[in-house]
Amino acid sequence: MTGLIVLAVDDEAPALDELAFLLNRDDAVDQVLTASDATSALRELADHRVDGVFLDISMPGLSGMELAAVLAKYADPPPVVFVTAHDDRAVEAFGVGAVDYLLKPLRDDQLTRAVERISAHERPRPDETVGDDDEVIPVESGGVTSLVRRDAISWVEAVGDYARLHTDTGSHLVRVTLSTLESRWQTAGFARVHRSYLVNLPMVVGLRSAGASTMVRVKANGASQAVELPVSRRQVRELKDRLVRDPMRTIRGGGPASSGS
């Protein structure tokens, strides 16, 4: 059986180092990722599928409780264990779905019990969750973390190792590759049309030929005019097939996609 991958989050470096050290000593743990604040934790979670999160409560920016509430909204939320010096927040912690509540200083038997609870916690397989309509993506801007619903995204643009999510309310840069989103969201109605673009098929309003090129027209940012994105030559046939047969092809606020201009 493969060991657990866990994320330890604490804004105090000595406490984070100690927690990571103790977790690494546990035979059931294969890898320990670390983060010093909620934003860093969300980035780690965007890059890795973790089996559990060990989380401090008092942190700058989003507190541990607030971060746990964000994680609880994930389509596939990781189990959370609070590690804290506060002995009066347990009711609140379990209210946001925590599987355990450990008080500092940590004891080995406490940590072992928490790791066992994470091991026993059943999570849906990734291929059972990618089609859920309620998946949300945490985005950070100006120190504020917001949640963007996947079904509100019109298209996604590759920006190096990042991706820019385009929605009716604007665009959001997140630390995840376009290839990762393509793999995760293919069964949720998204299609790769170009090396730089992933489109939400229900947001497609048409295709347009431009000489030897093909453009896909996508509803975007509440604008009256659709945005046009290039379709790579090898993706044209597959895109046309999916627009006809894809089960997610109910156009929001419009009829079937057309191939005219």
For residue 141, the model assigns a pLDDT of 67
For residue 132, the model assigns a pLDDT of 46
Reference 34, options 17, 49, 46; nearest CA is: 17
- The predicted-structure confidence for 12-23, as pLDDT tens digits, reads as follows 999 999 999 999
Judged by average pLDDT, the poorest of 50-54, 66-70, 165-169 is 165-169
For residue 74, the model assigns a pLDDT of 83
**Highest-confidence segment of 14-23, 83-92, 203-212, 230-239:** 14-23
Question: Element (H or E) spanning 204, and its range?
Answer: strand 204-210
Within 8 A by CB and 6+ apart from 102, the residues are 81, 82, 83, 84, 110, 111, 114
For residue 7, the model assigns a pLDDT of 97
For residue 55, the model assigns a pLDDT of 96
- Report residue 227 CA to chain centroid gap: 25
Cα 188 to Cα 53, 128, 201, 241, 261: the distances in Å are: 26, 11, 9, 16, 27
- The predicted-structure confidence for 105-128, as pLDDT tens digits, reads as follows 888 888 998 999 898 885 544 444
The backbone torsions φ and ψ at residue 255, rounded to the nearest 5 degrees and listed phi first, read -95, -165
For residue 219, the model assigns a pLDDT of 83
Task: Give the CA count within 13 Å in the CB-facing half-sphere of 28.
Answer: 13
For residue 237, the model assigns a pLDDT of 87
Count other C-beta atoms under 10 Å from residue 173's C-beta: 14
- The predicted-structure confidence for 192-215, as pLDDT tens digits, reads as follows 999 999 999 988 888 888 888 899
Per DSSP (E only), the strands in 120-202 are 136-141, 144-149, 153-159, 162-167, 170-174, 190-194, 197-200
More confident: 222 or 186: 186
For residue 245, the model assigns a pLDDT of 64
- The predicted-structure confidence for 150-203, as pLDDT tens digits, reads as follows 888 999 999 988 889 998 878 888 888 888 888 888 888 899 999 999 999 988
- Give the separation between CA 139 and CA 48, rounded to whole angstroms: 16
Is the pLDDT at 34 greater than 50, yes or no? yes
Q: Which residues of 95-129 are buried (b: 16+ CB within 10 A; e: fewer)?
A: ebebbbbbebebeeebbeebbeebeeeeeeeeeeb
Do residues 134 and 147 touch, judged by C-beta distance below 8 A? no
pLDDT band at residue 142 under the 50/70/90 scheme: low
* % of the chain exceeding 90 in pLDDT: 37
> How much is the mean pLDDT over the chain?
82
- Give the separation between CA 53 and CA 237, rounded to whole angstroms: 43
Q: How far apart are the first and last CA of the chain?
A: 55
Is the pLDDT at 87 greater than 60, yes or no? yes
More confident: 165 or 248: 165
Side chain identity, residue 13: A
- Give the separation between CA 251 and CA 253, rounded to whole angstroms: 6
User: If you average pLDDT over residues 59-71, what whole number do you get?
Assistant: 90
- Give the SS3 label for residue 191: strand
What domains does the chain contain, in order, with CATH numbers? Answer: 4-123 (3.40.50.2300), 149-245 (2.40.50.1020)
Which residues, listed in sequence order, are joined to residue 8 by a DSSP beta bridge? 34, 54
Within 8 A by CB and 6+ apart from 90, the residues are 101
